[in-house]
Amino acid sequence: MKPSFFSALWSNLKSLPQTCRTGLRPGGEAAPAPSQRLRRNFVYHLHALKVSERALHPLTTLGLGLITATLFFVLVVTGVLLMIYYVPTPRAAYASMQDIQYAVAFGGFVRALHRWAAHGMVLTILLHLARVIFTGSYRRRELNWIMGLGLGACTLGLAFTGYLLPWDQLSFWAVSVSTAMLDNLPMIGGGLKNLLLGGEIVSAATLLRFYTLHVALLPALLLLLMAFHFWRIRKDGGLVASSVLGEDESSLPAWPHLVLREALLVLVVLLSVCLVSVWVAAPLGIPPDFHAPGNPEKAPWYFLWVQEMVSYSSVVGGFVFPGLLLLGLLLLPFLEREDRAAGRWFGDRRCRRAIVVALSAGVVALVIFEAGFISAGGTADPLIRDIFNPATGMLVLAVLAFGLAGWLTGSTRSAFLSGFVVMLVAVAGFTVMGLLRGPDWVFYWPWEAWPGGY
């Protein structure tokens, strides 16, 4: 007798728990053996089965890559929630921001999470870059290094495009002012600006363009690069030292020692960003006044060093200095290939000494250059100012430090680290200078009040 439809359905229903257990588990009918269980776990596509104790130590990497990835995850979740209410048109953008801030349930919290996680992500990705440089972890990983720079560019692009979206006074003028800089780029500048803005000025076309870049193109690219980045780390054998140095440390299973540590770090990040967002609301400026920029109109902190340098010289500050820095970063793993002390913070003793010398020289030079430039005032001819300004000075010093350190120590790593440290001092110093600028881009100490009316 053929089994009836109802009896078949009944027996399938009875075995539903069993079917769920086996059918929903990828690739397994029966419960896998413990050793097999490890291989089937997604986490083990990310990590090796065993890791060295050095890799588990918090100071080895400071966990900066994972913090950045966690913040990106926060940004995706909160960003999708914000997309439900945000309207990317000039007429409605600011009003929808006000709605999110004032009327939508959890709107202010989600917006604050998105804002603070974005600032955090830019900060941690820059620190991650510095960590990789100072530990020499780009060693024999040229491809992943380039991927990492691409991730950094995507993050800055996301931060920049996201800056326009609130469509308040600050965002409108920050984007107007920073894209106007492109006009100074010979040949391609005007076309590039047109491509970016969809016209000569920041308009409805720009807002839609930045929105599309911000919510679709750049996140997709970043996700793709991130997957590639992680996969390459696994393929290259985890942290750099173990593969390059052939470490023979006692190794521990990644589960639970590495995975739980990572979970702990993820929780710490989530907890801190939630705590900040509960207490500190994301600022929303006044509606944009298309006729008059604020005075001063400052770039976000991570671009402030460029703005400060551009106020000295648009050619050197806007293009030569950042361009050389970027070129140096791109070429770093190809020109610097010493295996000695790879994966160790600041290399060997010689290297450390070069870094300390470069650091002190950089700080002293920066103070002298800035004091000289400010006391000389802005009376110089623009052409002379292109040559005699702090940005050019620090650039020359970086090249000098690079050459001298290389010549004296005979080590490419000391040379690159010295040059990089001088650049870093310049970037940090110019950022601080930018923070201290007041109306008309005049320098004010933090305790000095700005003149009235601003």
Kindly identify the residues of this chain, within the stretch 342-401, that bind other proteins according to CB under 8 A.
377-380, 382, 385
Applying CB under 8 A, among 63, 79, 108, 120 the residue interacting with other proteins is 108
Smallest CA-to-CA distance from 376 within 312, 317, 315 is with: 312
Identity of the residue, 154 or 174, whose beta carbon is nearer to other proteins in the bound complex? 174
The secondary structure of 184-233, three-state, reads HCCCCHHHHHHHHHCCCCCCHHHHHHHHHHHHHHHHHHHHHHHHHHHHHH
Q: Of the candidates 15, 36, 184, 194, which one interacts with other proteins according to CB under 8 A? A: 184
Residues from 218 through 247 that contact other proteins (CB under 8 A)? none
Which amino acid makes up residue 8?
Answer: A
Residue with tokens 């806007």: 318
Residues 156-175 that bind other proteins (CB under 8 A): 169
Instruction: Output the CA–CA distances (angstroms, integers) from residue 412 to 30, 339, 415, 419, in the order listed.
Output: 56, 11, 5, 11
Angle at 322 between CA 316 and CA 326, to 5 degrees: 145
Region binding other proteins by CB under 8 A among candidate stretches 24-32, 67-75, 264-272, 414-422 = 264-272
CB of 304 to other proteins, least distance (A): 13
Return the range that interacts with other proteins (CB under 8 A); candidates 40-48, 145-153, 359-367, 440-448.
Answer: 440-448
Contact between residue 132 and residue 240 where contact means Cβ atoms under 8 Å apart? no
Q: Residue 280 burial by CB count (10 A; 0-12/13-18/19+): exposed, middle or buried? A: exposed
Nearer to other proteins, 98 or 412 (CB): 98
| Alpha helix positions (H), 33-168 | 34-40, 43-46, 53-56, 58-61, 64-85, 90-102, 107-134, 142-164
Length of the chain: 454
> Which residue number, 24 or 105, has a Cβ lying nearer to other proteins?
105
CA terminus-to-terminus distance, the chain: 93
Considering only the stretches 24-32, 208-216, 236-244, 274-282, report the one whose residues sit in contact with other proteins under the rule CB under 8 A.
Answer: 274-282
The residues in 312-341 that bind other proteins, with binding defined as CB under 8 A, are 312-314, 318
Q: Is 181 among the residues that bind other proteins (CB under 8 A)?
A: yes
CB of 73 to other proteins, least distance (A): 14
| Residue 138, amino acid | Y
The answer to the question of residue 56 lying near other proteins (CB under 8 A) is yes
Binding mask 13-52 for other proteins (x = CB under 8 A): ----------------------------------------
119-122 own/partner pairs: CB under 8 Å, 24+ apart:
119/301, 120/67, 120/71, 120/273, 121/68, 121/71, 121/72, 121/75, 121/155, 121/159, 122/155, 122/156, 122/159, 122/302
The size of the interface with other proteins (CB under 8 A), counted in residues, is: 71
Q: How far is the CB of 178 from other proteins (least distance, A)?
A: 7
Q: How far is the CB of 338 from other proteins (least distance, A)?
A: 26
Asked if 188 is part of the footprint of other proteins (rule: CB under 8 A), the reply reads: no
Stretch 409-428 residues interacting with other proteins (CB under 8 A): none
Residue 52: which H helix or E strand, with range? Answer: strand 50-52
Residues 281-310 interacting with other proteins (rule: CB under 8 A): 283, 285-287, 289-295, 310
Least distance in Å: CB of 321 to other proteins?
14
Phi, psi of 50, rounded to the nearest 5 degrees: -120, 145
- Cβ at position 360, least distance to other proteins in Å: 29
Residue 111 or 141: which CB sits closer to other proteins? 111
In the complex, what is the shortest distance from the CB of residue 163 to other proteins, in angstroms, rounded to a whole number?
15
| Nearest-approach distance from CB 432 to other proteins, in angstroms | 17
Residue 306 CA to residue 301 CA, distance in Å, equals: 10
Helices and strands in the chain, H and E counts: 23, 2
Q: Which of 23, 256, 323, 403 is close enough to bind other proteins by CB under 8 A?
A: 256
